[in-house]
């Protein structure tokens, strides 16, 4: 199947070269053909998708105006509720939960006429960097089936990369959109915190979670972001973002020295530096900057995030929400339900969070982490007085093999070392493919991360689109 952008598909629909039903059927066929190996989807509704596509064709036949997203096939990460679909968050504890309402982002996509194909796989409750933690089996990387697609939005990234949908929604708490986007060679965008409503997202860490698009090109990500962003009465943290595009000349790019030290795969570093060089050759000003507290970002994240996880997942106790295991006492019911229905990584993070919030440790860990969070945010604020955007690698390595890091949680957590900073500071950031490297006979993608100042989402998008223009002209 040849890759077509959202605008190209829209043009085909409007010229009646192809119908929405034909387009939808082609993607459903692709899922049927490829997903037995890749396992990007947890559930698919062929009947529902075709019914949505038929409505778009009927509108076109009547001469009614349709938007750019009308008839575009989407995947939705299975921690975002979709009415009438099971929403499991890839956990056994929600195995039989059927959503009675649509998340705000889903409602906006439906209002725009998008065709929802199904729900995509993820690490359980979005906790992981490889999609190996799903209770329903791991997703594989389409570029090498022996390697992970990244996580936690690995199913969404793999579905887009394997052309089983045009685009997908994921969630990003510490890099869960950008890291799998880099591993799968697609575009992944997380907006400024609050720019996209979280209503209908199963919460992991509420002060860090952001919903965003995964797509094949930056323009598609922008079109989707345009549709899903905005203030929402159901989400008190939501905000409006102005669509102010940065001029594409004399762009000032900051390169943080802390992100280019030891621990980066030499091929990843070479590809990222090559991409930055492209900007320089096209008139951008490159400036080395310092983010002095960046080295504490991962430690801060892995204190704050488990703390919020501990609070958010307390509701899944076998009584109020989720699966229920019979026992002789209330405490034993809690224990049996959680032991049987939560995976190892979820239990690990609940325990870490409970410990850091406990009496005697709260000030030593959580309060101190919040103070360092403010210092990290101040570092970014200071940097954006000097530059328009910051460029870094997305990940320190190329996609790793299954089992390579899963037995060592700390090694797995290091996969997020370049992405957590944007979440801690609430900043917009995008991952775009910037090159390929050959590993053991397989071509694997490398991602470039572009981080912008708070509320400067369209600066990030505009500068990311510039790189695609450079590539087409070279």
At residue 288, what are phi and psi to the nearest 5 degrees? -75, 135
The active-site residue, picked from 152, 171, 307, 462, is 152
| Res 245 pLDDT > 70 | no
The pLDDT of residue 311 is 95
Task: List strand residue ranges (DSSP E) for 141-245, in order.
Answer: 167-172, 187-190, 210-215
pLDDT digits (tens, 9 = 90+) for 135-188: 999 999 999 999 999 999 999 999 999 999 999 999 999 999 999 999 999 999
Q: Where does residue 253 fall: left (phi above 0), alpha (psi -120 to 50 degrees), or beta otherwise?
A: beta
Q: In this predicted model, which residue has the larger pLDDT, 409 or 397?
A: 397
- Within 10 angstroms of residue 469's Cβ, the number of other Cβ atoms is 12
The pTM score is 0.96
| Res 239 pLDDT > 80 | yes
The pLDDT of residue 323 is 86
Q: Domain segments of the chain: what residues?
A: 1-474
The pLDDT of residue 250 is 86
Residue 406 known to be catalytic: no
H-helix or E-strand spanning residue 287:
strand 285-289
3 state SS of 44? strand
The active-site residue, picked from 20, 129, 171, 176, is 176
pLDDT digits (tens, 9 = 90+) for 55-92: 999 999 999 999 999 999 999 999 999 999 999 999 99
C-alpha to C-alpha distances, 43 to 110, 199, 375, nearest whole angstrom: 18, 21, 42
Domain 1-474 has CATH 3.90.1300.10: yes
The pLDDT of residue 243 is 80
The pLDDT of residue 248 is 66
**Inter-residue long-range contacts of 416-419, CB under 8 Å, 24+ positions, other chains counted:** 416/129, 416/174, 416/175, 416/179, 416/298, 416/301, 417/263, 417/297, 417/298, 418/175, 418/259, 418/392, 418/393, 418/394, 418/449, 419/172, 419/174, 419/175, 419/178, 419/179, 419/394, 419/395, 419/449
Q: Give the mean model confidence (pLDDT) for residues 384-412.
A: 94
pLDDT band at residue 1, thresholds of 50, 70 and 90?
low
Q: Give the mean model confidence (pLDDT) for residues 228-245.
A: 92
CA angle 165, 166, 172 (to 5 degrees): 85
The pLDDT of residue 408 is 86
Residue 266 known to be catalytic: no
DSSP class of residue 229 equals B
pLDDT band at residue 321, thresholds of 50, 70 and 90?
confident
Who's near 457: CB < 8 A, 6+ residues apart? 191, 192, 195, 225, 229, 241, 428
The pLDDT of residue 169 is 98
DSSP class of residue 195 equals S
pLDDT digits (tens, 9 = 90+) for 341-359: 999 999 999 999 999 999 8
Task: List strand residue ranges (DSSP E) for 2-137, in order.
Answer: 41-44, 73-77, 115-120
H-helix or E-strand spanning residue 57:
helix 46-61
H-helix or E-strand spanning residue 253:
strand 252-256
H-helix or E-strand spanning residue 445:
strand 442-452
Question: From the CA atom positions of the chain, what is the Rg in Å?
Answer: 21
3 state SS of 10? helix
Return the half-sphere exposure (C-beta side, CA atoms, 13 A cut-off) of residue 266. 2
Q: Give the mean model confidence (pLDDT) for residues 373-402.
A: 97
Q: Where are the alpha helices (DSSP H) in 102-199?
A: 104-111, 154-161, 178-184
The active-site residue, picked from 20, 34, 77, 140, is 77
- Tokens describing residue 353: 């969070």
pLDDT band at residue 302, thresholds of 50, 70 and 90?
very high
The pLDDT of residue 189 is 98
d(CA 80, CA 376): 29
d(CA 339, CA 322): 13
For the chain, give percent helix, strand, coil, nearest 5.
Answer: 45, 15, 40
d(CA 220, CA 307): 35
String of DSSP letters for 97-121: -B-SS--HHHHHHHHTT-EEEEEE-
| Res 320 pLDDT > 90 | no
The pLDDT of residue 405 is 92
d(CA 343, CA 94): 12
Q: What mean pLDDT value characterizes the chain?
A: 95
Q: At which residue do the structure tokens 């899963």 appear?
A: 406
Q: Give the mean model confidence (pLDDT) for residues 431-459.
A: 96
| Res 221 pLDDT > 60 | yes
Residue 371 known to be catalytic: no
pLDDT band at residue 318, thresholds of 50, 70 and 90?
confident
CB 315 within 8 Å of CB 204: no
């Amino acid at each position: 199947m040849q890759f077509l952008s959202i605008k190209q598909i829209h043009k085909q629909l409007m010229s009646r070269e192809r119908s929405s039903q034909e387009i939808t059927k082609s993607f459903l066929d692709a899922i049927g053909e490829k997903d037995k190996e890749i396992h990007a989807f947890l559930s698919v509704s062929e009947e529902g998708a075709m019914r949505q596509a038929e409505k778009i064709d009927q509108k076109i036949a009547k001469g009614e105006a349709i938007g750019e997203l009308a008839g575009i096939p989407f995947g939705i990460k299975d921690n975002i509720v979709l009415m009438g679909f099971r929403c499991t968050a890839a956990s056994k504890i929600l195995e039989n939960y059927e959503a009675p309402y649509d998340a705000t982002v889903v409602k906006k996509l439906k209002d725009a006429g998008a065709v929802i194909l199904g729900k995509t796989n993820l690490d359980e409750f979005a906790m992981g960097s490889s999609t190996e933690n799903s209770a329903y089996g791991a997703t594989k990387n389409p570029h090498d089936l022996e390697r992970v697609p990244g996580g936690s939005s690995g199913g969404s990234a793999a579905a887009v990369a394997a052309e089983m949908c045009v685009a997908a929604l994921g969630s990003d708490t510490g890099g869960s959109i950008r890291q799998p986007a880099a591993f799968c060679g697609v575009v992944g965008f997380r907006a400024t915190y609050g720019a996209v409503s979280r209503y209908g997202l199963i919460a992991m860490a509420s002060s860090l979670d952001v919903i965003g698009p995964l797509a094949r090109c930056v323009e598609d990500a922008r079109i989707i972001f345009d549709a899903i962003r905005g203030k929402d009465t159901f989400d008190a943290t939501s905000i409006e973002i102005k669509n102010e595009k940065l001029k594409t000349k004399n762009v000032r790019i900051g390169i943080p020295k802390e992100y280019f030290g030891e621990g980066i795969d030499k091929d990843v570093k070479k590809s990222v530096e090559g991409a930055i060089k492209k900007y320089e050759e096209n008139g951008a000003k490159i400036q080395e900057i310092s983010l002095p507290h960046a080295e504490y970002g991962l430690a801060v994240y892995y204190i704050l995030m488990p703390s919020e996880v501990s609070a958010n997942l307390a509701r899944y106790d076998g009584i109020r929400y989720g699966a229920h295991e019979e026992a002789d006492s209330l405490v034993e019911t809690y224990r049996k339900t959680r032991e049987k229905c939560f995976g190892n990584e979820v239990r690990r993070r609940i325990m870490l969070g409970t410990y850091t919030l406990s009496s005697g440790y709260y000030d030593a860990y959580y309060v101190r982490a919040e103070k360092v969070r403010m210092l990290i945010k101040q570092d970014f604020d200071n940097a954006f007085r000097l530059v328009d955007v910051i460029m870094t690698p997305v990940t320190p390595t190329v996609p790793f093999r299954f089992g390579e890091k899963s037995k060592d949680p700390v090694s797995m957590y290091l996969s997020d070392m370049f992405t957590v900073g944007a979440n801690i500071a609430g900043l917009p950031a995008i991952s775009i493919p910037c090159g390929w490297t050959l590993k053991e006979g397989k071509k694997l993608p490398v991602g470039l991360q572009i981080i912008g100042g708070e509320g400067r989402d369209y600066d990030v998008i505009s500068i990311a689109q510039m790189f695609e223009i450079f590539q087409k002209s070279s």
